[in-house]
Amino acid sequence: MKNEKTLNHENELKKANDYIKENGASVQGKKSRLKMHFMTPLGWMNDPNGLVFHQGEYHLFFQFYPYDVEWGPMHWGHSKSSDGIKWEYLPVALAPSEEYDYSSVEQGHGCFSGSAISVEDQLVLMYTGNVDGRTPRQTQNIAFSKDGRSFSKSSNNPAIPTFPNEATEDFRDPKIWKKDEMYYAIIGTKKDGKGKAAIYSSLDLKDWEYRGIATESNGQQGDMWECPDLFTLDEQDILIISPMFGTKNSSPYYLLGNFDYDTCKFEQKDFFTLDYGKDFYAPQTFTDGKNRRIMIAWMNIWFAEMPEKNDGWAGAMTIARELTIKKNKLYQYPIVELNDYRVDSELVEDLQIDSKSSFNTSLTSASDVLLTIDMEKSKAEAFDIFVKCSKDMKEKTRIHFDLKQMTVLVDRELSGVGNKDNSVAPLSVNDGKLLVRLILDTNALELFINEGEYVVTNRVYPTNSDELFVIKSEDLLIIEQLENYSLKMEG
């Protein structure tokens, strides 16, 4: 006979899944729905959780509140994919149900962010249970599944029942991995005005030993660290952090350094912004069956307007990106599987643009545009790309390239509804060429410079877009090649 706690969890899962089944169809046909990016079936979604490749399939879990378009008691939504691009919704994996993740009086409770690991035939989740008003407020917990769909919370929970002395009650977002015969978890926390990353280890996923603070903020890296992710890529140790400064969430960055498994200390060497856009937070990485390091992030930010709420949903994810190390930097680029969804194409070569000759074309609502700009032959000191434009150009998103200052500006002032603040990122030239790639969707823009050396992710919400695409330059701009592909999700 099942115990009361397990039955309670099953009841809460059934309640959530029944609600989605009854109400999800009304959301699916809305014009605001994205064509290529993963989004919540309805209700609210934030952080990606539990990214893992398990038994030949990609799994994406996510922070989820199905009952409203505002944040609420956190569940774990669940989906799977055969290629990392086209996702299939699965039943909700976790719901608040236990004393460490549920409260009948506090709205601030739930199964907060965490990660997943494939252990033989089992899929194991590690997550933060949060109950406002409880002491301690945040604990780390384990759930298991043998079929990859139905999850049971461990009777041994909380696996990590409290925070260490070097931390505070803000103690969340465990990222789990295995090296040799040992499991490790890195957990975000803070103390004395500094964000910190705590390390734990376990031989059996049940008994966890605190190994210390791996590293902490240098005073400029945030006073709370969320969603830490530590991994090795091409023999380079990398730590990704989503920082908070007070109550404000800021742009994630990555630290380059050395992690010593004996001491569990991470020696920082350098750090860089991960994505320069306004709608990129809580990225998580995993290794897939092709031994690629893949990253997906929440394609929103806290306190954004998110106009899609009017259509019964809120929250989306970036396209899956492959991470590589080049020139001591972390590059990120859409996984090659995205190319399989290109259905129509336009190729223009040796395009010359100046004050008397602009370039105009029409795109579909989901498009993949690649430009190779000849910087050596071009005379222009600046140029503009306009996307999601109305025919009268009164509504548009402007991407301004300053070739003297070597910066790119994404200007959302006339982009429609939603947030209007701008994004600025560096530019770089590769063998005399400026390489630009734009992944465009109904209300999303992902900009990749120099094959992912710099990236800008923003949500844009046009109201009268005719999907015009325009390039303008006052002085001579030589575009060696422009490729434009429509993207379509079949089925």
Catalytic residues: 47
Tell the burial category of 123 from Cβ atoms under 10 Å away from its Cβ (0-12, 13-18, 19+).
buried
Tell the burial category of 446 from Cβ atoms under 10 Å away from its Cβ (0-12, 13-18, 19+).
buried
Report the C-alpha gap between 200 and 206 in whole angstroms: 12
Report the C-alpha gap between 240 and 217 in whole angstroms: 12
State CA 318 to chain mean position distance.
5
Closest CA to 42 of 65, 10, 76: 65
Residue in this structure with the two tokens 């260490």, named with its chain if needed: 164
Report the C-alpha gap between 60 and 78 in whole angstroms: 6
- Single-letter code of the amino acid located at 459: R
Q: Which residues have a Cβ under 8 Å from the Cβ of 30 and sit 6 or more positions away?
A: 308, 311, 312, 313
Report the C-alpha gap between 281 and 48 in whole angstroms: 9
How many C-beta atoms surround the C-beta of residue 350 within 10 A? 11
- CB of 312 within 8 A of CB of 28? no
Q: Is the peptide bond before 96 cis (omega within 30 degrees of 0)?
A: no
- CB of 477 within 8 A of CB of 468? no
Query: Could you give phi then psi for residue 25, rounded to 5 degrees?
Result: -60, -35
Residue in this structure with the two tokens 């109201």, named with its chain if needed: 463
Instruction: Collapse the DSSP code of 12 into the 3-class scheme (helix H, G, I; strand E, B; otherwise coil) and give the result.
Output: helix
Strand partners of residue 74: 110
How many C-beta atoms surround the C-beta of residue 104 within 10 A? 5
- CB of 315 within 8 A of CB of 40? yes
Report the C-alpha gap between 280 and 274 in whole angstroms: 9
Instruction: Collapse the DSSP code of 489 into the 3-class scheme (helix H, G, I; strand E, B; otherwise coil) and give the result.
Output: coil
Report the C-alpha gap between 45 and 439 in whole angstroms: 21
How far CA 19 is from CA of 15, 25, 31, 347, in Å, comes to 6, 11, 22, 46
Report the C-alpha gap between 239 and 131 in whole angstroms: 28
